[in-house]
Amino acid sequence: MTHMRTEIMEQPAALRATIEALLPRAAEAGKLAAGTRQVLFIAHGTSDNAAVYGSDLIQAYAGRLPARGRCLALPDRPRGLSKITQTA
């Protein structure tokens, strides 16, 4: 099995462990985010796609149209973007 395949197979467990570690800190994160005006994702290489998508999602859920609009393909459009028609 390739290294990449091994990494892919580990993703569900890694995501589960991350969520379990962060859930107890949800209130703390909420307090931190309450005064936040901007979120900056910093990435390099392959993680850049995840950072760009995360940025798009945050913008969409804040009711702003992301520059790339990737998350407009979500089945339930985020608040503020429900009346936008997409075309390719």
Per-residue model confidence as pLDDT tens for the chain (88 residues): 899 899 899 999 999 999 999 999 999 988 888 888 887 888 888 888 888 888 888 887 777 777 665 555 555 655 555 655 555 4
pLDDT of residue 51: 86
Q: Environment class of residue 14 by beta-carbon count within 10 Å: exposed (0-12), middle (13-18) or buried (19+)?
A: exposed
pLDDT of residue 27: 93
Indicate the Cα dihedral angle 46, 47, 49, 53, nearest 10°. Answer: 170
pLDDT of residue 19: 92
pLDDT of residue 52: 85
